[in-house]
Amino acid sequence: MKQIAQSFVKAQKAFGPALKTSTNPHFRTKYADLSSCVEAVIDALNDNGIGLIQNIHECPDGVIVETMLIHESGETLTNGRLHVPALKIDPQGYGSALTYARRYSLMAACGIAPEDDDANAASKKKPEVKPEPKPEVKPPAKIQGQDTGWQLTVEATPEANVEDWSEKIAQATLTGLGLCKTVEDVKTLFKVNRNVFDKLKELDEGSYKGLMASFTETQHKIKENK
């Protein structure tokens, strides 16, 4: 075992990285496939008088692979047998299991360890990205409709927030709807103050929808009372 041990240590110093050139279709992650793993070690092994053999042993439910390193002196090293079950009992299933087993057996035998594409990368959590705080939205200091008898005028103090401002618009609008005698009055109230309601929709869509429901309800009541 002395000669192969010395040669293997020299070879291992020259092993290259197992490049991640393939993509796992399930996890969308890069990984080093079988050919990349072989390329990472085969030249260094051969240059130091070591050949690579992967024996396949009979198995009813998958594959068993044994990676063996053979020195030109006749000495051998093996890392034991690796059993990988086949997900499907068909040629494709056995082929996938064989590729997987050869890749991991080789990496274990040669001591190369790229990031695990099936377990580690899949379970690795992405760094939490905290959303940037949204700038505080301030309502207009003053907003009013057209200069008519149905005009709404809403003023807000500097410290007022959108909720306070929406409440003022709601109160003014409900007061106006209470004064409407005809469906045309309701329509006029909306048209005259369209800019006020558009701004409300932009800043507080929930309150806007509630007021629009009040417009509809008022029109129904007027029609029923005719």
pLDDT digits (tens, 9 = 90+) for 153-185: 998 888 888 888 999 999 999 999 999 999 999
Say if residue 176 is exposed, middle or buried (CB neighbours under 10 Å; 0-12, 13-18, 19+).
buried
> In the block, which residue shows the tokens 């899949």?
122
Strand boundaries in the chain, DSSP class E: 22-24, 29-31, 50-57, 62-71, 76-85, 142-144, 153-155
For 148-158, write each residue's pLDDT tens digit. Answer: 889 999 988 88
Per-residue model confidence (pLDDT) at position 101: 84
Percent of the chain with pLDDT over 90: 33
- The DSSP secondary-structure symbol of 212 reads H
Half-sphere exposure of 159 (CA within 13 A, CB side): 0
Architecture of domain 2-123: 2-Layer Sandwich (3.30)
As beta bridge partners, residue 66 has 55, 81
Indicate the residue type of 91.
Answer: P
**Is the model more confident about 31 or about 48?**
48
> In the block, which residue shows the tokens 């200069």?
147
Q: Taking the C-alpha atoms of 90, 93, 98 and 104 in order, what is their torsion angle to the nearest 10 degrees? A: -160
Residue 123: pLDDT over 60: no
Per-residue model confidence (pLDDT) at position 121: 43
- CA–CA distance, 69 with 109 (Å, rounded to integer): 8
Name the pLDDT band for 106 (thresholds 50, 70, 90): confident
The residues near 158 (Cβ < 8 Å, ≥ 6 apart) are 141
Per-residue model confidence (pLDDT) at position 71: 92
Residue 120: pLDDT over 80: no
Q: Kindly report the pTM of this predicted structure.
A: 0.47
Domain limits of the chain? 2-123, 142-224
Per-residue model confidence (pLDDT) at position 117: 46
Contact 24, 118 (CB under 8 A): yes
**Average pLDDT score over the chain:** 82
Contact 67, 80 (CB under 8 A): no
**Is the model more confident about 145 or about 87?**
145
Indicate the residue type of 148.
Answer: T
Per-residue model confidence (pLDDT) at position 18: 60
Q: For helices 2-13 and 34-47, what crossing angle results, to 10°? A: 120
Q: For residue 207, what are the CA distances in angstroms to 94, 155, 188, 189? A: 62, 17, 20, 17
